[in-house]
């Protein structure tokens, strides 16, 4: 029986430590991991908990991230509660097995500390790895600070393991800005946290010898499509369970989570849509701008990146007073508009309000995103709103040195 | 269609053509492509139940026949066989049927006609030989070769 960990009502934890404590409290059966910056401390801390008797389960050090996720798939198919952590290149190396995990409907929990993808090699935070996972069939939840990294990690087990869902879940936090920034965190006591997560209920487990099963079967053109359709429906339908688990967590802790977080949107004339630790920067900027110039700025942040909350984004953007929206993508877009711009534009297209929408690429490789820059971009949205059309290129780069960089002019008139 | 020798009455070996299963919709396929091997629960390990007594599910490849893949077939000659089990060990498709270390015959529903069993048979003449798929087994046995004499030194 695992030792109880003494916790204060308020602890000072960085995002990595917060995530590792949540994994410990969930009493995972198998963690297979290969540590990588900036998520290394999650694995390191977990290894220490295990070695010091705070964890009953197995901890397997493997030879690569591909092996780490493969070990997780095997252990989950065998019938255990399973989790791991990674970042960036490690995430990229896992990519093949991520699709196996979701297709096999194995509720693995993966803590992703977001980091840029090489080349050039970079250990700082941006959303390249998070975006790489967006078609992998996993549920993706985004934490903006340490407390949320802790809370969402606990909730991830409840959501993914729910019998109506049975899908793997990623919890994202930003490399360094969240993972290495010590903040006040209010943890649950071990028994309260475990009671919330609950005992693992195996489904089709390979260790049930009274009911032998085959996992990972091959399907060709006569069966593959039906299985992918069923999997997609489970992911889309997981919205209901996510909402339920968020509601139950609020009842337990008083902390409220929504699939789309929004701030000051009721009377907003312009809005900024963004993810991760930048959300708190944007909220501060919006508050300052409201005081300084009276420009009514609102912030919209998808808490749940997959399944993408088209329903709630549409609700947030379908406001008569809302004239211009800027979508901030912290990932090199690779010859397209940013993914957030594409998703949000698609959701907004079927609204009555149809606000002007533009795209900014920002913060690549950990480039700082300042309050002043956020305010500049917000004011630019006001210019679009006043003109009634996009007065700049549709896609622009924020905070990059050199001549102004942008793409695609609007076609007005 | 079944093997040479005695099969139990519950044997589901090769009861359907591979790919002839009912094509159900996305709402009826098993979650996560998890396929059950048997209908119902086993009260002991499957290894301790004879194949012809197992309650194979429709997902199990044991219930599908792939006999049509074969163009030549092994024929088994009981009169020569010494029950060494070499063919049983080497068959890549578990299509040699043996009980209590006594060779019973060939599972023609799953044999692909690869000829490995003939290669590894140590008797003289061999107790397994390849014949055309269309040839009758009795005719094959009637044309079995004589024992080969060792070449003089």
**What is d(CA A335, CA A196) in angstroms, rounded to the nearest whole number?**
44
**What is d(CA B151, CA B153) in angstroms, rounded to the nearest whole number?**
6
Which residues of B are less than 8 Å from A107 in CB distance?
Answer: none
The tokens for B77 are: 């000659």
The tokens for B98 are: 């043996």
Whether A2 maps to a domain, the answer reads no
Query: Residue A98: what are its φ and ψ, rounded to 5°?
Result: -60, -40
Distance between A157 CA and the closest CA of chain B, angstroms: 18
Q: Do A248 and A393 belong together in one domain?
A: no
Whether A204 maps to a domain, the answer reads no
Whether A126 maps to a domain, the answer reads yes
Question: Across the interface, do B42 and A215 touch by the CB < 8 Å criterion?
Answer: no
| Under 8 Å between Cβ of B55 and B14 | no
Q: Do A174 and A297 belong together in one domain?
A: no
The pLDDT-based confidence of B10 (bands split at 50, 70, 90) is low
Query: Residue A265: what are its φ and ψ, rounded to 5°?
Result: -90, -15
Q: Do A26 and A149 belong together in one domain?
A: yes
Question: Across the interface, do A204 and B32 touch by the CB < 8 Å criterion?
Answer: yes
Q: Is the pLDDT of residue B6 over 80?
A: no
Q: What is the CATH number of the domain that holds A64?
A: 3.40.50.970
Q: Do A297 and A244 belong together in one domain?
A: no
Question: Across the interface, do A213 and B19 touch by the CB < 8 Å criterion?
Answer: no
Nearest to A278 by CA among A144, A183, A149, A179: A144
Q: Do A343 and A242 belong together in one domain?
A: no
**What is d(CA B30, CA A136) in angstroms, rounded to the nearest whole number?**
20
| Under 8 Å between Cβ of A284 and A338 | no
Question: Across the interface, do A226 and B26 touch by the CB < 8 Å criterion?
Answer: yes
β-partners of residue A111 are: A85, A171
Pick the residue of B19, B23, B32 with the most A CBs within 10 A to test the interface with A by mutation: B32
Distance between B29 CA and the closest CA of chain A, angstroms: 7
Q: Is the pLDDT of residue B3 over 70?
A: no
Which residues of A are less than 8 Å from B34 in CB distance?
Answer: 104-105, 204, 213-215
β-partners of residue B35 are: A214
Question: Across the interface, do A104 and B34 touch by the CB < 8 Å criterion?
Answer: yes
Whether A209 maps to a domain, the answer reads no
Q: Which letter does DSSP use for residue A4 in this model? A: P
Rg (CA), chain B: 18
Whether A206 maps to a domain, the answer reads no
Q: Do A176 and A297 belong together in one domain?
A: no
Of the residues A253, A274, A307, the one at which a domain ends: A253
| Under 8 Å between Cβ of A254 and A119 | no
Which residues of B are less than 8 Å from A212 in CB distance?
Answer: 36-38, 42, 46
Print the domain residue range for A356.
261-407
Nearest to A381 by CA among A303, A307, A300, A306: A300
Of the residues A231, A253, A275, the one at which a domain ends: A253
Q: Which among A104, A211, A226 is the nearest to B36, CB-wise?
A: A211
CATH number for the domain whose boundaries are B16-142 = 3.30.70.20
Which residues of A are less than 8 Å from B46 in CB distance?
Answer: 209, 212
Q: Which among A214, A230, A234 is the nearest to B35, CB-wise?
A: A214
Whether A246 maps to a domain, the answer reads yes
- Peptide bond connecting A38 to the previous residue in cis, omega within 30 degrees of 0: yes
Q: Are strands A260-263 and A297-302 parallel, antiparallel or unpaired?
A: antiparallel
Distance between A411 CA and the closest CA of chain B, angstroms: 43
Q: Do A249 and A310 belong together in one domain?
A: no
Residues in chain B: 153
Question: Which residues in chain A come in under a pLDDT of 50?
Answer: 413
The pLDDT-based confidence of B2 (bands split at 50, 70, 90) is very low
**What is d(CA A398, CA A361) in angstroms, rounded to the nearest whole number?**
6
The pLDDT tens digits for B42-94 are 999 898 998 888 999 988 989 999 999 999 999 999 999 999 999 999 999 99
Q: Which residue of A has its CA nearest to B56?
A: A212
Would you say the C-alpha torsion A146, A148, A151, A157 has a positive or negative sign?
A: negative
**What is d(CA A326, CA A398) in angstroms, rounded to the nearest whole number?**
12
Q: Do A359 and A398 belong together in one domain?
A: yes
Pick the residue of A78, A160, A223, A235 with the most B CBs within 10 A to test the interface with B by mutation: A223
Q: Which residue of B has its CA nearest to A204?
A: B34
Q: Do A355 and A330 belong together in one domain?
A: yes
**What is d(CA B35, CA B32) in angstroms, rounded to the nearest whole number?**
9
Task: Give yes or no for B145 touching A (CB within 8 A).
Answer: no
Rg (CA), chain A: 21
Distance between B108 CA and the closest CA of chain A, angstroms: 24
pLDDT score, position A413: 45
Q: Do A225 and A76 belong together in one domain?
A: yes
Q: Do A363 and A249 belong together in one domain?
A: no
Question: Across the interface, do B24 and A226 touch by the CB < 8 Å criterion?
Answer: yes
Which residues of A are less than 8 Å from B54 in CB distance?
Answer: none
| Under 8 Å between Cβ of A139 and A170 | yes
Question: Across the interface, do B36 and A212 touch by the CB < 8 Å criterion?
Answer: yes
Q: Do A270 and A361 belong together in one domain?
A: yes
Nearest to B5 by CA among B137, B153, B146, B143: B137
Nearest to A41 by CA among A67, A21, A61: A21
Task: Give yes or no for A221 touching B (CB within 8 A).
Answer: no
The tokens for B87 are: 């063919």
Distance between B46 CA and the closest CA of chain A, angstroms: 8
Distance between A322 CA and the closest CA of chain B, angstroms: 41
Whether A290 maps to a domain, the answer reads yes
Task: Give yes or no for A165 touching B (CB within 8 A).
Answer: no
The owner of tokens 């429709």 is: B58
- Number of domains into which chain A is organized: 2
pTM score? 0.92
Question: Across the interface, do B38 and A227 touch by the CB < 8 Å criterion?
Answer: no
Q: Measured in whole angstroms, how far is the alpha carbon of residue A8 from the centre of its chain?
A: 27
pLDDT score, position B58: 87
**Among the residues of A215-301, which ranges form H helices?**
224-253, 278-292
Q: What is the CATH number of the domain that holds A372?
A: 3.40.50.920
Q: Which residue of B has its CA nearest to A209?
A: B45
Whether A21 maps to a domain, the answer reads yes
């Amino acid at each position: 029986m695992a030792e109880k960990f003494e916790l204060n009502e308020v602890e000072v934890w960085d995002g990595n430590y917060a995530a590792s404590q949540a994994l410990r409290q969930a009493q995972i059966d198998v963690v297979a991991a290969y540590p990588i910056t900036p998520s290394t401390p999650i694995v390191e801390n977990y290894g220490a908990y295990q070695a010091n008797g705070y964890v009953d389960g197995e901890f397997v050090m493997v030879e690569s991230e591909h092996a780490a996720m493969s070990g997780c798939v095997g252990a989950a198919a065998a019938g255990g509660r399973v989790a791991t952590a990674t970042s960036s290149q490690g995430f990229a190396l896992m990519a093949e097995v991520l699709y196996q995990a979701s297709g096999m409907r194995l509720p693995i929990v993966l803590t992703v500390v977001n980091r840029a993808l090489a080349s050039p090699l970079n250990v700082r935070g941006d959303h390249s790895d998070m975006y790489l996972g967006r078609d992998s069939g996993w549920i993706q939840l985004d934490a903006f600070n340490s407390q949320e990294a802790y809370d969402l990690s606990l909730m991830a087990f409840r959501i993914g393991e729910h019998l109506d869902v049975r899908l793997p879940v990623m919890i994202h936090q930003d490399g360094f800005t969240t993972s290495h920034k010590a903040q006040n965190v209010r943890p649950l006591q071990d028994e309260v946290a475990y009671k919330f997560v609950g005992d693992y209920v195996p489904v089709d487990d390979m260790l049930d010898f009274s009911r032998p099963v085959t996992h990972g079967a091959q399907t060709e053109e006569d069966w593959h499509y039906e299985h992918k359709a069923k999997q997609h429906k489970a992911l889309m339908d997981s919205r209901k369970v996510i909402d339920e688990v968020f509601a139950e967590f609020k009842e337990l802790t008083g902390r409220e989570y929504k699939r789309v977080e929004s701030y000051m949107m009721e009377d907003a004339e312009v809005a900024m849509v963004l993810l991760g630790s930048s959300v708190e920067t944007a909220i501060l900027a919006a508050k300052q701008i409201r005081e300084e110039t009276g420009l009514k700025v609102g912030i919209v942040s998808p808490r749940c990146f997959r399944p993408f909350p088209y329903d709630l984004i549409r609700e947030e953007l379908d406001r008569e007073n809302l004239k211009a929206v800027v979508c901030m993508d912290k990932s090199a877009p690779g010859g397209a508009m940013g993914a957030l711009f594409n998703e949000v534009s698609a959701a907004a297209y079927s609204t009555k309000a149809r606000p002007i929408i533009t795209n900014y690429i920002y913060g690549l490789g950990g480039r700082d995103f300042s309050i002043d820059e956020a305010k500049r971009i917000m004011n630019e949205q006001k210019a679009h709103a006043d003109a009634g059309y996009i007065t700049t290129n549709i896609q622009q780069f924020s905070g990059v040195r050199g001549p102004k960089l942008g793409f695609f002019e609007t076609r007005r008139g | 269609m079944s093997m040479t020798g005695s099969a139990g009455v519950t044997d589901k070996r090769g009861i359907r053509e591979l790919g002839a299963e009912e094509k159900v919709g996305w709402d009826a396929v098993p979650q996560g492509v998890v396929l059950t091997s048997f209908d119902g629960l086993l009260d002991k390990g499957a290894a301790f139940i004879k194949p012809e007594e197992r309650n194979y599910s429709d997902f199990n490849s044991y219930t599908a026949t792939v006999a049509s893949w074969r163009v030549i077939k092994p024929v088994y000659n009981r009169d020569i066989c010494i029950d060494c089990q070499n063919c049983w060990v080497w068959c890549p498709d578990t299509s040699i049927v043996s009980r209590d270390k006594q060779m019973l015959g060939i599972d023609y529903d799953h044999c692909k006609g690869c000829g490995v069993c003939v290669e590894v048979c140590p008797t003289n003449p061999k107790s397994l030989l390849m014949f055309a798929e269309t040839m009758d087994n009795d005719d094959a046995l009637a044309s079995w070769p004589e024992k080969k004499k060792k070449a003089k030194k």
